[in-house]
């Protein structure tokens, strides 16, 4: 069974606040799709609407041609990890999963199987309140895997995982996608998605910013590259570059970063104006920077400037 996630004109309002604004995108099976955006961009709200936990103000969120709530039991269609803390601390991991499995008519053998798969078999009889965040993430992933579902949704699954855990999750997600499943993973860190996702959905302030493959996104990052220029006369060079149509930012140490002009053009211009240049280095923007730049207009919570 192969299921596509289709989100169309999805909108969610809380009073005057628009949490999700006319969001439209498709998530395909057989690949890991990253759902990226700064905190407060509406990722969790979108995932909530996908699984029927909250009702859209407008628009539709459909999985496999049906709204998720059309299924009386969900685990065999969509596995979710929405919040690793959403477990009762007084229960053992085994009991937590056993109750969940039973509600969907899934046997105890499968509970033991997923516990082993996420590496919690030895601590399954321990109460969850003794778990670290990383262990709770693993328990949440185990719960998502219970029904062997064709669609998996993970909200910030890497929080609290150690590097070994991150590596494991990466392999797991890619393996699930290779089996033909639809894997949709949210994160606010591009660096996390860089090695996990093949497709990206980027949102900011509830709006779609980009929906493309990681490769396309990376290429877009390339066009955003800048050139660092060091010169004893930054004022004059900055003026000349601006006049020529480049965007110039001057750093405190006199270093200029120039956008919209190639390194060779900058060198030629400096030579023509007889301004000495001591350093001229093109910098390819990282994916993280491309992401930051694209979402910078849409950041909900920004640290204040203290000086």
Partner 1 sequence: MVKATIKEPVAETVRTETQARFRDLFTAEWIKLWSLRSTAWTLLLSAVAIFGFNCYSAHSDYVNLEYFSAAARADFSRHAMFDAFTPASCIALMLSIGAIGANVVVSEYGTGLIRTTFVAVPARHGVMAAKLAVVTAVSLSYGLVAVGGSFLATQAILDGKDVGLSISDPGVPERLLASVLMAPLTALVAMAIGVLVRHSFGTLSTFVLAFMLLPLALSERLYATAVLGHLTPYRAWGRIADIEFGSQPYPWTASGAWTVYAVWAVLATILTVVVAQRRDH
Which part of the chain contacts partner 1 (CB under 8 A), choosing from 64-72, 164-172, 188-196, 293-301? 64-72
Q: For partner 1, what does the binding mask look like between residues 127 and 146, x meaning CB under 8 A?
A: ----------------x---
Q: Which of 9, 58, 66, 107 binds partner 1 (CB under 8 A)?
A: 66
The H or E element containing residue 280 is strand 279-283
The minimum distance between CB 9 and partner 1, in angstroms, equals 19
Closest CA to 152 of 7, 19, 30: 30
Please, are residues 137 and 160 in contact by the beta-carbon 8 Å criterion? yes
What gap in Å lies between CA 102 and CA 146, rounded to an integer? 10
- Answer yes or no whether residue 126 interacts with partner 1 by CB under 8 A: no
Length of the chain: 307
Task: Dihedral sign for Cα 61, 63, 66, 69, please.
Answer: negative
- Answer yes or no whether residue 185 interacts with partner 1 by CB under 8 A: no
Per CB under 8 A, contacts with partner 1 among 208-227 are none
Q: Which of 40, 52, 59, 134 binds partner 1 (CB under 8 A)?
A: 52
What gap in Å lies between CA 267 and CA 1, rounded to an integer? 58
| Pair of tokens at residue 234 | 């930054």
Q: Which of 41, 78, 200, 238 binds partner 1 (CB under 8 A)?
A: 78
Q: Which of 76, 170, 220, 273 binds partner 1 (CB under 8 A)?
A: 76
Which part of the chain contacts partner 1 (CB under 8 A), choosing from 34-42, 67-75, 253-261, 294-302? 67-75
Q: Which of 39, 69, 216, 223 binds partner 1 (CB under 8 A)?
A: 69
What gap in Å lies between CA 73 and CA 71, rounded to an integer? 5
Per CB under 8 A, contacts with partner 1 among 84-103 are 85-92, 95-96, 98-100, 102-103
Per CB under 8 A, contacts with partner 1 among 18-37 are 29
| Percent of the chain as helix, strand, coil, to the nearest 5 | 35, 25, 35
- Answer yes or no whether residue 243 interacts with partner 1 by CB under 8 A: no
The H or E element containing residue 13 is strand 5-14
Backbone φ/ψ region at 123: left (φ over 0), alpha (ψ -120 to 50), beta: alpha
- Using DSSP's 3-state secondary structure scheme, residue 48 falls into helix
Nearer to partner 1, 38 or 79 (CB): 79
The minimum distance between CB 146 and partner 1, in angstroms, equals 8
Count CB atoms within 10 A of the CB of residue 3.
21
Q: Which of 38, 64, 157, 234 binds partner 1 (CB under 8 A)?
A: 64
Count CB atoms within 10 A of the CB of residue 304.
4
Count CB atoms within 10 A of the CB of residue 138.
28
- Answer yes or no whether residue 283 interacts with partner 1 by CB under 8 A: no
Nearer to partner 1, 5 or 248 (CB): 5
Which part of the chain contacts partner 1 (CB under 8 A), choosing from 69-77, 234-242, 246-254, 287-295? 69-77
Nearer to partner 1, 83 or 162 (CB): 83
Any residues with CB less than 8 A from the CB of 15 and at least 6 apart, and which? Answer: none
- Using DSSP's 3-state secondary structure scheme, residue 9 falls into strand
Site residues (vs partner 1, CB under 8 A):
1-4, 29, 48, 51-55, 64-66, 68-76, 78, 80, 82-83, 85-92, 95-96, 98-100, 102-105, 143
């Amino acid at each position: 069974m192969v299921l596509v996630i289709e989100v169309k004109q999805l909108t969610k309002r809380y009073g005057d606040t628009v949490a999700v604004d006319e969001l439209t995108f498709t998530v395909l099976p057989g690949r890991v799709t990253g759902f990226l955006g700064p905190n407060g961009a509406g990722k969790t709200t979108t995932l909530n609407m996908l699984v029927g936990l909250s009702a859209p103000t407008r628009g539709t969120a459909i999985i496999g041609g049906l709204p998720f709530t059309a299924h009386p039991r969900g685990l065999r269609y969509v596995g979710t990890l929405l919040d690793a803390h959403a477990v009762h601390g007084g229960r053992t991991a085994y009991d937590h999963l056993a109750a969940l499995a039973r509600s969907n008519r899934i046997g105890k053998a499968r509970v033991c199987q997923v516990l082993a798969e996420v590496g919690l078999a030895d601590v399954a009889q321990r109460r969850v309140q003794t778990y670290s965040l990383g262990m709770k993430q693993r328990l949440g992933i185990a719960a998502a895997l219970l029904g062997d579902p064709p669609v998996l949704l993970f909200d910030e699954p890497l929080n609290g995982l150690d590097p070994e855990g991150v590596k494991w999750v990466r392999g797991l997600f890619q393996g699930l996608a290779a089996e033909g499943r639809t894997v949709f993973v949210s994160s606010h860190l591009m660096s996390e998605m860089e090695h996990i996702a093949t497709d990206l959905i980027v949102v900011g302030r509830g709006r779609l910013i980009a929906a493309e493959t990681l490769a396309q996104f990376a290429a877009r990052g390339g066009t955003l590259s800048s050139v660092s220029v060091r010169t004893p006369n930054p004022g004059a060079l900055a003026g000349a570059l601006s006049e020529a149509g480049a965007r110039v930012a001057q750093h405190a140490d006199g270093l200029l970063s120039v956008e919209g002009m190639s390194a060779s053009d900058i060198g030629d211009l400096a030579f023509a104006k007889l301004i000495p240049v001591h350093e001229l280095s093109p910098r390819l923007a990282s994916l993280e920077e491309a992401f930051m730049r694209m979402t910078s207009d849409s950041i909900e919570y920004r640290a204040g400037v203290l000086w």
